Amino acid sequence: MSEFMSRPRFQFSLRGLLITMTIVAVLLGLVVFPLGQMIVGLLLAVLLRGVLPTVAVVAAIYGRGRVQAFAIGAVVSCLPILFGDLGSPSFFGLIAGLVTQLIAAAVCGSVAVATREWVLRQGGTGLE
């Protein structure tokens, strides 16, 4: 009976949901105006060039096991972000670039995890 009374691992709060929905509504409302598109585009560019590589590097350094392998693969996909062009400076071009880079990070990270698991199944690296 006690297992049913335990608290769920993740629980929504109405306050957090209201704040999130307000932020999303304001950002979508800004897209209507040209200045708003520049502001949202700047936020997306900061997210793409700053936050994504930072999270990937921190997880590659401090993560262990599969998390570390995924983060190393994601860091590899972040290199074109840091040293390349973001593509079209339009709002929809930045959204397309963000989605493309997130998909590339997910694919590269997944391939890195699969490679790690394959190496471990083949007997490891011999360094253990």
8-state DSSP, 116: H
Quick one: pLDDT band at residue 19, thresholds 50, 70, 90?
A: very high
Average pLDDT over residues 99-111: 87
Average pLDDT of the residues of the chain: 80
pTM over 0.85: no
**Average pLDDT, stretch 53-71?**
89
pLDDT confidence band for 48 (50 / 70 / 90): confident
| Joined tokens for residue 104 | 């590339």
Concatenated DSSP letters of 12-25: --HHHHHHHHHHHH
Contact 78, 60 (CB under 8 A): no
